[in-house]
Structure 1
Amino acid sequence: MRLRRALLALVVVLGGLVAGAGGATAATPYCGITWGSTDKAGGVLSGAPLVEVRTGRHDCWDRVVFEFAGPANGFSVAYGETWTEGQGLALSPYTAGGALLRVSLRAPAYDGNHVATVPYRAGDHGATVLGYRTLRDVVFGGSFEGYTTFAVGVRARLPYRVFVLSGPGTHSRIVLDVAHQWQQ
């Protein structure tokens, strides 16, 4: 009887240790990332036109960079349906991925004479993401009344961050990073 109680106590203690260790591991953020996947917005409307869209791969995330010919810092990014600017057509059927980030930039993709400053039309792929771990597609949704939209297709609903960088020169950049996973 004593032996059974001792073994039962040992099983309970070992089970608690294993469960405790598993819980600590599950709570460890991937690459230290604590961004989350809630809506993010900031900045104000700008007249600085979008001049380039490019992507990059990092060990812990994939990146989309929107570069402007002047100071621009306005954005709104959220998971969900994305529509073309001015027409209101859904972009999600054209975008591959398990989730869709709606990127609204508070700056035009045309100059003061209303001439396009990027070589895309609504529905065009805005950057190459072939072989990326998280990004699946970047699709231009158009520019209307000073706002520019992109649909960014990603593998799954993952944590992301958005921030603004100055430069190079008088240019500015709005950067979107999407993590490869939630936790280790």
Structure 2
Amino acid sequence: MRKISAGMGAVVAVAGLGLVAPGPASASPYCGIMWGSLAKADPDMSSANVTNVRTGQQACYDRLVIDLSGKVAGYSVQYVPVVVQDGSGFEIPLLGDADLQVTVTAPSYNQGGQATYVPAAKAELSNVSGYQTFRQVAYAGSFEGYTSVGLGVRARLPFRVFTLDGPDGGSRLVVDVAHHW
């Protein structure tokens, strides 16, 4: 009887340890990134003009920067089934398995209709070969005060959007897309 009681006691003790023992540690976010992949927007209108589009690589993400001649005051960045050209609605095919449409409420022309940003190649604004996340950056047009850029990415990954002041009285719209979840 004592053996049965001792055996039952051991089983209860082991079962009880399972209840109070800590579970497996949850995975920490990649590089501390906690961004998400839902649309991000600021509905304001800008009086600035787009002057440049450029990209860069960071340790944990790839970066798209849209330079403006004044203060950034409005944007929309979201994953879409297909990026469309401003005004016409023509589809802009992009490399990669996910498409981000980046729209800034600033034209790429001044009040006199003169271009402030003229890309050399609309289908490839920046050479992103060798980037971990970006696959293609394409100009989607500028129409009625809005300028759009199509960003083809490897997969639907988390991203963040923010603005920076400068240089020379201008500002920048920054879109970072993480390399991983």
SS at match of 1:129: coil
Q: By how many angstroms is 1:167 displaced? A: 0.5
Query: 1:74–1:95: structure 2 CA closer, same or farther, 3 Å change rule?
Result: same
Matched, 1:133 2:132: yes
Matched, 1:29 2:32: no
Output the CA distance in 2 between the equivalents of 1:109 and 1:156: 28
Residue number in structure 2 paired with 1:71 = 71
Residue number in structure 2 paired with 1:178 = 177
Matched, 1:103 2:98: no
Query: TM-score, with normalisation over the residues of structure 2?
Result: 0.86
Output the CA distance in 1 between the equivalents of 2:131 and 2:32: 21
Q: By how many angstroms is 1:124 displaced? A: 2.5
Matched, 1:56 2:56: yes
Query: 1:41–1:13: structure 2 CA closer, same or farther, 3 Å change rule?
Result: same
Q: Any idea what the Cα deviations from partners look like across 1:4-43, whole Å, max 9, x if unmatched?
A: 99589759957x969x22xx333x1111111111110015
Does structure 2 conserve the Cα–Cα contact (< 8 Å) formed by 1:165 and 1:175? yes
Q: By how many angstroms is 1:128 displaced? A: 1.7
Residue number in structure 1 paired with 2:112 = 113
Give the fraction of aligned pairs with identical amino acids, expressed as a percent: 43
SS at match of 2:26: helix
In structure 2, the gaps of 5 or more residues are: none
Q: Which has the larger share of helix?
A: 1
Output the CA distance in 1 between the equivalents of 2:16 and 2:63: 46
Q: Any idea what the Cα deviations from partners look like across 1:111-134, whole Å, max 9, x if unmatched?
A: 222122222289522222111001
Output the CA distance in 1 between the equivalents of 2:57 and 2:16: 45
Query: 1:151–1:12: structure 2 CA closer, same or farther, 3 Å change rule?
Result: farther
Paired AA for residue 146 in structure 1? G
Q: By how many angstroms is 1:3 displaced? A: 6.3
How much is the aligned-residue C-alpha RMSD, in angstroms? 2.4
Residue number in structure 2 paired with 1:157 = 156
Output the CA distance in 2 between the equivalents of 1:4 and 1:70: 76
Residue number in structure 1 paired with 2:142 = 143
Query: 1:9–1:137: structure 2 CA closer, same or farther, 3 Å change rule?
Result: farther
